[in-house]
Structure 1
């Protein structure tokens, strides 16, 4: 792909600050990811305002409910014209099928497999008797069979999933530059490593948004790709 695969995760509490940051780095990213924090604070209005930056919008809402409710939520965001929307693979096949059927024509629906903040101990504590790698691959197969466009997984799994799902669309969060702080992420790789392994979208937040010079940070990450 020629387009810059970096989507900036913009979960700033103030809408004006979020828009200003997006405009500042817009020439060195490929899109904007808006998550639950942003959506709960600013709703449809906030998304419309960020559309003015002129980049694709990724709504990272991680929808997870009964199939009818998730389908209704997908229909409710048609007006926002998102390029990508996330749902949880753990919601099951029927939920994923209904979410995809209800999505806008130009919207990619991708399923979250295992959150990058979780490790094997965390999965065991919630009753999942598999390590993150095996669980991610299992849910990727389910998402593929349900007709979704792709999945969200860590950089540790994307290579294996890409081998099994050649035309899939793979979103990789939890990325950190080689010299970056890991923070609350437990399964990180560098943006370049994820891209080389088959990632379609690289989600990067704090390494840019909390950098002393966000523009320089965005340029530096872009240069590694």
Structure 2
């Protein structure tokens, strides 16, 4: 398992280095990648004390890559989703929506923490609390984006960078859509991965 975890860390490091090379805006890049970097530092620092299942580490890797790619291009200008926008005549680049949908995967990481660190057991309460936590994190992220934009808009030249970080693309309901995507992603992730997660907890010798 250690080799798999090391491989995932190397993948994340490689994407991080790539994302830092001539991003669209260094300030936007810093704002976008900081949460992932802080999270990775915490996970690495606590690796020997609290080792997650490989599924959780894979999810963390995916989410970190999503944020690094978004930071490099800015979420509204990721090339693949610009192509999708043009090909399907869409009104906006949907990488932001895609990213928030995938962030729903984090509910499995929250599920693992709750199973291992609280008296909660598998059942409806575990689902409700983990999903609520996932949605709360999504809402907190939207608040941080809004605060960064409000502060940046008063600074002057930094306004464009924080506007890219906010990434509404002219949609007044962008924050609500993002939170909805996170909620849907959380429910779908739970339905697809919870049984696999249970098996991995047992297989990897982690007490449920």
TM-score, with normalisation over the residues of structure 1? 0.27
Please tell me whether Structure 1 or Structure 2 has the larger radius of gyration of its CA atoms: 2
**Taking CA–CA contacts closer than 8 Å with sequence separation of 6 or more, which of the two structures ends up with the larger relative contact order?**
2
